[in-house]
Structure 1
Amino acid sequence: MKILDIGEVSASTGVPPSTLRYYDETGLISSIGRHGLRRQFSSDVLLQLALISMGKSAGFSLDEIGKMFSSTGKPELPRAELHQKADELDAQIKKLSALRDTLRHVADCPAPSHMECESFRRLVKLAMRVKGQRSTKRTFKKHD
């Protein structure tokens, strides 16, 4: 097992040392000791930090991410929650795609007024439908 000090972990991952110390103090990661004042980590921490970063990008809180690791630091990923988060991301992608298409159309539309443009009106209605689908998904959660 290769041992990395906090500076090496920070350089390898781009995670600032202050964040690594915070993660260590809150139990998201665990140092294996110190060399002088510098915390030491096993190389396994690099995988943990990659999973933490992915979880944050997906919208999980640090508390939720912390529950995805066993006491030994090994991932215990909750498949049902991951499916639910993927569904939420799909809904967000649809909403953002509709918004992007509307913005591009508004920027390029030759009509004197956007309210006179049928394409614009159709895109706005589509965007509202996508927003409504997202609300419906939140109301009716999947049960395993």
Structure 2
Amino acid sequence: MNIAEVAKRTGVPAHTLRFYERKGLIASVGPRGARRQFAPAVLDQLALIALGKAGGLSLDEIRAMLSPCGEPLVDRDVLLAKADEIDATIKQLQAMSRGLRHAAACPAPSHAECPTFQRLLKAAAAGALKPRHSTPHPRPAELRSEQENRHPAAGRT
């Protein structure tokens, strides 16, 4: 399959396919310099990449889970750590949701008089409610590389 067909079948833009190839996530077949051709297995590789990204894995973590021939080499410890991180985020978001619901329905005449709201403020001030950020999005250098690939003149001054 050529790059246009892969892009059409998967919805992954050609510039992203080239970026993934440079990062070592997928590989084209055929001679260098010719129009990129991909084996049918690239569709499964792209599905695995999409799944990993949806799960919050970085491209480096995803690449580490692909063998040189593109077969999955799943690192169960990385998956368990990511699942633990997601569970912690869920707990944090559920607590925040409960606090917001309480604040919206609180019968106290003023939120300043509500002990629950005051505990929320103290937790927020202490940093307990700061959102956690895994790395589901490209890091700045990766993003720059992808942007330069789409707009080659953008990276030059």
Q: TM-score, length-normalised on structure 1?
A: 0.72
Residue identity opposite 2:86 in structure 1? L
Q: 1 or 2 for the larger relative contact order (CA 8 Å, sep ≥6)?
A: 2
Q: Could you tell me how far apart the structure 1 residues matched to 2:113 and 2:88 are?
A: 29
Partner residue in 1 for 2:15: 18
- Give the fraction of aligned pairs with identical amino acids, expressed as a percent: 55
Task: Tell me the SS of whatever aligns to 2:16.
Answer: helix
State the 1:22 CA deviation: 0.9
Give me the CA root mean square deviation.
3.0
Residues 5 and 38 of structure 1 are in contact (CA less than 8 Å); yes or no, is this contact kept in structure 2? yes
> 1:115 pairs with 112, 115, 120, which one?
112
Q: Specify which structure has the higher proportion of strand.
A: 1
> 1:104 pairs with 101, 104, 109, which one?
101
Q: Could you tell me how far apart the structure 2 residues matched to 1:33 and 1:99 are?
A: 53
CA offsets 1:42-87 (integer angstroms, 9 cap, x no match)? 2211221121122222222211211111111100001111111111
Residues 28 and 66 of structure 1 are in contact (CA less than 8 Å); yes or no, is this contact kept in structure 2? yes
Give 5+ residue unaligned stretches, structure 1.
133-144
Q: Could you tell me how far apart the structure 1 residues matched to 2:90 and 2:124 are?
A: 12
Give 5+ residue unaligned stretches, structure 2.
130-157
State the 1:118 CA deviation: 4.1
Moved over 4 A (4+): 121-128
Partner residue in 1 for 2:79: 82
